[in-house]
Amino acid sequence: MSMIRDLRAVVRPSRPSLRKGVRMDGGAYDTTRDPGTPSAVVDCAVYRDGARVETPLPLTPHEAMRQVRRDGGFVWIGLHEPTEAEFAGIASEFGLHPLAVEDAVQAHQRPKLERYDDSLFTVFKTIHYVEHDRLTANSEVVETGEVMCFTGRDFFITVRHGGQGSLRALRHRLQDDPELLAKGPSAVLHAIADHVVDGYIAVADAVQDDIDEVETDVFSPGRKGSPRGSDAGRIYQLKREVLEFKRAVSPLLRPMQLLSERPMRLIDPDIQKYFRDVADHLARVQEQVIGFDELLNSILQANLAQASVAQNEDMRKITSWAAIIAVPTMVCGVYGMNFDYMPETHWKYGYPVIMMITGVICLGIHRTLKRNGWL
C-alpha cells in the first residue's frame, strides 16, 4: 500500500505558475509531429511488472500487442492527431469501437466517459493559459486541446489533438514508479485525469489574476487616457474565454464521479478511490469558473453603469453651459434687430449696463448650477 500513499506525489508534482510561462510538463509543448516518426505514433511501449520493456528498435503497435499477449503486461501507445487511415490499423488490432474511433479521429468532442464492450473511452479537454503582457479586447486567454484515452485490460491508447498538453513528462514520471505502473492501464488513466485537472487549477489561478486586473481598472478612480467604456471589450473577451474554460471543466465532472463511485472491471479498486480526489478538485475548479462568469457579469454591468453615469454628467454639463450661453444669445438677439425706436438704443450708458446685467445673470446661473452639482 506504500505505492498508493505515494500516488499523489507521482502524478501530481509541484505545480508551477502559468503566469511565468512555465508549461505543465516542464518543457516546451509539442507543436509538430516528430520528423523521425513516419506515422502519428509518438511513443509505443510495453510495460511489464511496472517497468518498461526495452527493445533495440521502436515497437509497432502490432509487435507491442503481440508481446503483451505472449508475455503479459500492457501496452501504452501515444498518438498525435492521427488520420483515419493511420488509426485504422490500431483500431482493428485492439478491437476499438467504430464510434469511439470516429470521435478520436475527428476531435472537437465534449468531455465524456463511454464504455464500449471491453474498453473505456474517455475524452479530456486540456487547457493552456496564453501569456500576454496586458489583456486587450482581442487577447486570447486560454487555448484548448484534447486527449482521448482508450482503456482496456492490456492496453492504453492516448490520442492527442492540439499543440499543447504533451504527455511525455507524465510518462517519464510514471516510469519512475514501477509499483504504480504495475496496477495497469487504470493507473495511467488516473494519472492523466489528475494531470489534466491540475492544469485546470493552474489556469484558473492565472485567469483569476486577469479578472483582478480588469476589476481594478474598472473601479480605479481618476484613470487618465482611458476612453470611457473601453473596458467593456476587455471584459467581454475575458468572459468568452472563461466560457470556453467552462465548457472543458463542467462536462468532465460526471465522468470523474462515475469512475470514483461505480465499480468497473477495467479500473483497479486501489486506483478507483483516487478518482474521488480528482473529482473533488474538479468540482472546486468548476465552482471557481462559475464564480468567474458571475463576477465578470457584475463587472460588465458596473462598467456599463459607469459609462452611463459619465454620459449623464456630460449631458448635464453641456445643458448647463447651454443655459448660461442662452442669456447673452437672447440679449444679442433682441438688440440686434436694428429697429429705430427701441429702449436704451440711444442711451449713453446702455451698452455697458446691458453687458453688466448679462454678465451678472450668467454668473448667477453658473453659481447656481455649480452649487447643485451640474458643473
**CATH topology identical between 39-305 and 310-370:** no
Tell me the average pLDDT across 165-193.
90
Residue 202 CB burial class (10 angstroms; 0-12, 13-18, ≥19): buried
- The reported pLDDT for the residue numbered 361 is 84
Q: DSSP letter string over 236-271?
A: HHHHHHHHHHHHHHGGGHHHHHHHHHS--TTS-HHH
- Phi first, then psi: give them for residue 142, nearest 5 degrees: -125, 150
User: Distance between CA atoms of 10 and 192, rounded to whole angstroms?
Assistant: 12
**Which cell numbers hold the place of 264?**
468497473
Q: Per-residue pLDDT averaged across 127-145, rounded?
A: 83
Q: What is the C-alpha separation between 15 and 271, in angstroms, rounded?
A: 22
Identity of the highest mean pLDDT range in 240-244, 317-321, 353-357: 240-244
- Which pLDDT score, from 0 to 100, does residue 225 have? 43
**Can you spell out the DSSP letters for 30-86?**
P-S--TT-SSSEEEEEEEETTEE---SSPPPHHHHHHHHHHH--EEEEEEES--HHH
The packing angle between helices 269-334 and 253-261, to 10°, is 160
Residue type, 203: V
Q: Is 275's pLDDT higher than 80?
A: yes
Most confident of 23-32, 139-148, 301-310, 335-344: 139-148
Q: Residue range 67-96: average pLDDT?
A: 90
Least confident of 219-228, 339-348, 364-373: 219-228
Nearest-5° Cα angle at 57, 73 to 43: 60
- Cell readout for 56 is 533495440
Q: Is residue 287's pLDDT more than 90? A: yes
pLDDT in tens, 27-51: 322 333 444 444 688 889 999 998 9
Distance (Å, rounded) from C-alpha 130 to C-alpha 237? Answer: 14
Predicted pLDDT of residue 39:
60
Q: Between 309 and 268, whose confidence is greater?
A: 268
Answer yes or no: is pLDDT of 20 > 70.
no
Residues in the chain: 375
The three grid cell numbers given for residue 35, joined into one nine-digit string:
520528423
Q: What average pLDDT does the structure give for the chain?
A: 81
Flag whether pLDDT at 254 surpasses 70.
Answer: yes
pLDDT over 80 (residue 247) = yes
- Cα–Cα nearest to 248, from 121, 109, 101: 109
Q: How confident is the model at residue 222 (pLDDT cuts 50, 70, 90)?
A: low
| Over residues 196-208, mean pLDDT | 92
Where do the structural domains in the chain lie, given as residue ranges?
39-305, 310-370
Highest mean pLDDT: which range of 228-237, 286-295, 329-338, 356-365: 286-295
pLDDT surpasses 70 at 14: no
The answer on pLDDT for 267 being more than 60 is yes
Position 202 scores a pLDDT of: 92
In the predicted structure, residue 114 carries a pLDDT above the cut 90: yes
Question: Given a cut of 60, is residue 223 above it in pLDDT?
Answer: no
CA distances from 117 to 97, 121, 262, 329, 368 (A): 8, 10, 17, 89, 84
Per the model's pLDDT, the better-predicted residue between 171 and 306 turns out to be 171
Give residue 148's pLDDT.
94
CATH number of 310-370: 1.20.58.340
Give the residue from 147, 84, 77, 80 showing the smallest Cα distance to 111: 147
Fold of 39-305: Beta Polymerase; domain 2 (3.30.460)
Buried b (16+ CB within 10 A) or exposed e, 25-62: beeebbeebeeeeebbbbbbbbbbebebbeeeeebbbe
Start-to-end CA span in the chain (Å): 76
Helical axes 185-219 vs 253-261, angle rounded to 10°: 140
**What does the block give as the cell for 141?**
486567454
- Work out the percent of the chain whose per-residue pLDDT is above 90: 30
Q: For residue 291, give the amino acid letter.
A: G
